[in-house]
Every structure is written in C-alpha cells, then in structure tokens.
Amino acid sequence: MLALRADIDALPIPDAKTGVPYRSTVPDRAHACGHDVHTTTVLGAGLVLAELHRQGLLPAPVRLLFQPAEEVLPGGAADAIVAGALDGVGRIIAVHCDPRVDAGRIGLRHGAITSACDRLEVALDGPGGHTARPHLTTDLVTAAARVAADVPALLARRVDARAGLALTWGRIEAGHACNVIPMHAELAGTVRCLDLAAWRDAPDLVHAAIDEVATLHGAKSEINYVRGVPPVVNDPVVTELLHDAMAARRGPYAIEDTEQSLGGEDFSWYLEHVPGAMARLGVRTPGSNARLDLHRGDFDADEAAIKVGVELFTAAALLDGNRS
C-alpha cells in the first residue's frame, strides 16, 4: 500500500501576510513552512481517490497520513510510526513547498534531498563580577562570543568539508546590566550535516570543541545535544514513480533537478522502515521576483501549487496501484 504523508503543524511566529483569506487566525502562529499546503494537497488527493474508489476505479488501497510535530525535533514521525502509521504500507511519498521553484513545477532528486539536523543548547557559567575588573573573574560575555564564533570554525577544520557540517546559532543570551559581568550565558542553535557518517560523529565533535573553547576562557559549560533527524534519502524506484506521475499530468518539462538542502525533515524516519521519496513542490508565482523564504512570517504560496500537488499525489497513487 502507498502512503501519502502531510505534516500539519505551524510555527510559533506571527503571520505577516496581508490581504489573503488564509492568513492565520491564531496570534503568533503561522504556516510559514507550507504545511497548510501539504495538508490541503493530501486532502484533495484523498477526495479524488475516494471518488475513484466509489466508482470502482481505484486499483489499490492508499493511506493518507496527517502527521503533527514535524517542526519539533526529533519530529512527530517517530510517534506516528509507533502508533502504526506504517502498518501495511510498502511505499510512502510526500512533497515540501519550495519558494525557489515556480508553481506548476516540481523538483526531484535521487538520493539525499535534505540533511541531518540536530538541536544544540549550551549553558556557560562563571563567578560574575564588575565590568571594571574583568581580569579578576571570567568574562562570560566574551566566553560566549568566542564559543559562538570559534566552535563553528573549529568544526570546519575537524570535519571533511565534503560532509557539509554546519553549526549555526539562533539564540545567544547573557546579562542584564551594562556594568555587570554575568554569571550565566546561553546559546542555542542547530547542527546540520549532509553526510550520514559525519552526522553520527557530530555529537562528540561538538562537545569536544565547546568544552575546549569554554575552558580556554575560564567558563564551565553544560551541553544539551538533542538528536534530530537523519537526511531524507529518496529511493530511486519511488522517485521514478513521482517523475512518471508528474510527467503524465504536466509533461516532463514540469520537472526539474533539485539539490540537497541543509534543511531537516522527519520524513526521513519513515524511510528507515519503507522506501519512499519526497518532491519539492513549486509555490513561487511565475515571473515573481519576491524572495519569501520558508520560516518567515511573510512566506506565501501561489495557490495554483495546490492543484499541482493534488494531481501529483493522485497520479502517483494510480500508477503505483496499477504497477503493484
């Protein structure tokens, strides 16, 4: 049985879109990663497939999988699997919105299409003190700054550059007053990696680099390294299924090659159990120069992409059923 997967969760950011009826009605929550589009395409495909089943034209059963918590590492896919989401499933497919690709087109790639992604939280502690006498204490602000700058640089020299390991900070906090050296500082970010082998080594490498830099500056470090998700590695047979489905509906010129991104996706956990593939669904209005990236409050999708996603899922389900 083929499964069509959609992630359904939003992000904790305000919706900055204006003048559209699908703007978020919940304060400080927005579908800034296109999960509303993913959900709608699977729902739409489900309606079409249900009608075909009613007419006796559906060649094989299809499962619609609506998964929460994709944005929360290590992702809701693991819980869905434990709950039986893959019971009886032989293959699984999904799409992800891509604002770099025009609506009406999809991007496909054999092999890895996303990267591994982990979450990192670092706490630094020191005795604190007066900013007039930093030589008598641990300058925790400087220590945090050095960890932020030096640890990524160290990793770049301790990991093969072809592995594509990248540590990027999203939050740094330290102190409350201009004349007080704080006793505590925090940093948080993500570790992303193109290569699966390097991903397995990443926790030890990151721990060692942080401890080394923090110790050099007299700070004590506490590290919370949260394992996230491995790369999504598209199965070649299922990727060809998506290719053939799109070509049948929109023609071969509606398909473009795409590159492996540093984004993380818990769709990868399903692929630890069954073969599958993810396509990039173009959502940019053709001719538009707007750069509305994912995870921005003003991210928007051309609604024409929804029909394309419905057609892709429906055609893939019919092709898969006829080939099985």
**33 annotated as a binding-site residue:** yes
Measured CA to CA, the distance from residue 37 to residue 282 in angstroms comes to 11
User: Any known ligand binding at 178?
Assistant: no
The letter for the amino acid at 87 is: D
Q: Which residues contact 57 (CB under 8 A, 6 or more apart)?
A: none
Asked if 309 and 41 touch (Cβ cutoff 8 Å), the reply is yes
Residue matched to tokens 């680099």: 209
User: Is 295 within any annotated ligand binding site?
Assistant: yes
DSSP class of residue 261? P
Measured CA to CA in angstroms, residue 286 lies from 99, 107, 144 at distances of: 11, 15, 44
Place of tokens 């030589």: 135
- Any known ligand binding at 53? no
Question: 240: part of which helix (H) or strand (E)?
Answer: helix 236-250
The partner residues of 281 in beta bridges, in order of sequence, read: 97, 106
Do 159 and 95 meet the contact criterion of CB atoms below 8 Å apart? no
Q: Is 222 annotated as a binding residue?
A: no
Annotated binding site: 33, 35, 71, 96, 295
| Binding residue numbers for Mn(2+) | 33, 35, 71, 96, 295
